[in-house]
Amino acid sequence: MTDRDLLQAGFRYAYSLANRHHDAEDLVQEAWVRISALHGSVPNKSLLFTVIRNIFIDQYRRKNLVIIESLEGAAEPSALDVELEFDVDSRVIDKALNTLRPEEREAIFLNVVEGYTAKEIATLTDKSRNTILSLLHRGKQKLLQQFRQKSDDDRNLA
């Protein structure tokens, strides 16, 4: 993977956390500089993701901007039992993703885009596998709900 590919991957991961272009750019830039200063180069994607994550947590979780939603009582989830029956516009996806918690977006991104398993995401984010499955399930359910609502609204308007 070239440095450019690494940066783009880091940017997309940062975007999944921040869901704003400028914030994601700031996150990946700060992480890139920190790692370069420490190691002389950025050795792998895993380290880049970890540093981006730490910076994000420093900046946002300490400000209580991340709402901690309890996962207690969540049924044993399966992230695979949600399906979409129609195509969705990217702007609608962006808007819907913005309503998700960063943890949900992060889990979905790592699973769907990076191809990590729930167990791997759990290791990376220091959470249990069940928590990751819950985040994936809840996040996708929320997205589906919004896409269907938007589709119904569009149909009613037509």
Which residues here bind other proteins, judged by CB under 8 A?
3-4, 7-8, 11-12, 15-16, 21-26, 28-30, 32-33, 36-37, 40-42, 55, 58-59, 63, 65, 82-88, 90, 93-94, 97, 108-109, 112-113, 140, 143-144, 147
Residue 138 or 140: the one with the smaller Cβ distance to other proteins is 140
* Alpha-carbon span 119 to 101, nearest angstrom: 20
Residue 16 or 131: the one with the smaller Cβ distance to other proteins is 16
Q: Are 107 and 136 in contact (CB under 8 A)?
A: yes
Residue 59 or 72: the one with the smaller Cβ distance to other proteins is 59
Smallest gap, in angstroms, from Cβ of residue 42 to other proteins?
Answer: 7
DSSP single-letter state for residue 62: G
Smallest gap, in angstroms, from Cβ of residue 139 to other proteins?
Answer: 10
Residue 61: how many CB atoms within 10 A of its CB?
A: 12
- Sequence-distant contacts of 1-9: CB under 8 A, at least 24 apart: 1/45, 3/41, 3/42, 6/42, 6/44, 6/45, 6/48, 7/32, 9/45, 9/48, 9/114
Smallest gap, in angstroms, from Cβ of residue 28 to other proteins?
Answer: 7
Residue 59 or 130: the one with the smaller Cβ distance to other proteins is 59
Smallest gap, in angstroms, from Cβ of residue 131 to other proteins?
Answer: 20
Smallest gap, in angstroms, from Cβ of residue 87 to other proteins?
Answer: 7
* Alpha-carbon span 88 to 72, nearest angstrom: 31
Residue 30 or 120: the one with the smaller Cβ distance to other proteins is 30
Structure tokens that stand for 131 in this block: 């928590």
